[in-house]
Chains A and B, each alone.
Chain A
Amino acid sequence: GDSVTQMEGPVTLSEEAFLTINCTYTATGYPSLFWYVQYPGEGLQLLLKATKADDKGSNKGFEATYRKETTSFHLEKGSVQVSDSAVYFCALTANNFGNEKLTFGTGTRLTIIP
């Protein structure tokens, strides 16, 4: 079945450091890929998405590129801020023609130190 594997956390970085959170997936066909962010005590917010190979999703300084050859969708940001501290989830929907459920990774907790 479909699955998402995320980099184990927690991840702790200093402010202005470069961020990479790894995400790889297994799916039949050509899935759509998502990154969601969850701030403490809140629901999930869509951060970015990509729907086909080589697409780059971007938002708020974060980027991720859909790499079909390596089945990856790594999240990157060039200079993190304290306000980026949150849990980040990689997710996919596979083209199951009527069963468009989101499959999530386990999440990566990110803490940014001033």
Chain B
Amino acid sequence: DGGITQSPKYLFRKEGQNVTLSCEQNLNHDAMYWYRQDPGQGLRLIYYSQIVNDFQKGDIAEGYSVSREKKESFPLTVTSAQKNPTAFYLCASSMGRRFGETQYFGPGTRLLVL
């Protein structure tokens, strides 16, 4: 079955530590996205990528980094510079960047700070 997988489901970060969240898709989609969800708020865009080896900052990119070395994979690193990392992180993908294209979401990773 085609879809988006995210791992791990729960992740714990210690003070000063970088952690990496995995996102893989087998939908053959060109575009991939990372969102952050906080309680009582909508989703906010962190980074997005339209094509391999290219990505752009979203609305809240500070303290995060990404890479897009393969079409199927778009890992997100939460660096120690992100002072408030506790949130639910959602990865999404879409076929392309055509207007009105539907984004499909993974199951999410919940990041907690120890």
A interface residues (Cβ-Cβ under 8 A, vs B): 4, 32, 34, 36, 41-46, 49, 51, 89, 91, 93, 95, 98, 100-107
B interface residues (Cβ-Cβ under 8 A, vs A): 4, 6, 31, 33, 40-45, 48, 58-59, 90, 92, 94, 97-108
Cβ contacts under 8 Å, B105 to chain A: 36, 43-45
Q: Given A4-B42, A42-B108, A89-B43: A102 and B103 within 8 A (CB)?
A: yes
B31 to chain A, nearest CB (A): 8
- In angstroms, Cα B93 to Cα A43, docked, is 13
Cβ contacts under 8 Å, B48 to chain A: 101
Q: Is the interface of A mostly helix, strand, loop or mixed?
A: strand
Q: Indicate if the CB atoms of A93 and B100 lie closer than 8 Å.
A: yes
Partner of A34, one of B4, B58, B102: B102
- 8 additional contacts, CB 8 Å, given A93-B99, A106-B40? A41-B108, A42-B108, A44-B43, A44-B90, A89-B43, A95-B99, A101-B33, A102-B33
Q: Indicate if the CB atoms of B100 and A107 lie closer than 8 Å.
A: no
Cβ contacts under 8 Å, B104 to chain A: 46
3 A-B pairs closest in CB distance: A104-B42, A32-B100, A43-B105
Q: Given A106-B40, A106-B41, A106-B42: A43 and B108 within 8 A (CB)?
A: yes
Q: Indicate if the CB atoms of B97 and A43 lie closer than 8 Å.
A: no
Can you name 9 A-B residue pairings with CB atoms under 8 Å? A49-B102, A93-B99, A93-B101, A100-B94, A100-B97, A101-B45, A103-B42, A106-B40, A107-B40
Cβ contacts under 8 Å, A43 to chain B: 4, 6, 90, 105-108
Partner of B107, one of A36, A42, A91, A98: A42
- In angstroms, Cα B105 to Cα A74, docked, is 22
Which residue of the partner chain B has the closest CB to A89? B42
Interface centre among B92, B97, B100, B101 (most CB of A within 10 A): B100
Cβ contacts under 8 Å, A89 to chain B: 42-43
- In angstroms, Cα B48 to Cα A98, docked, is 11
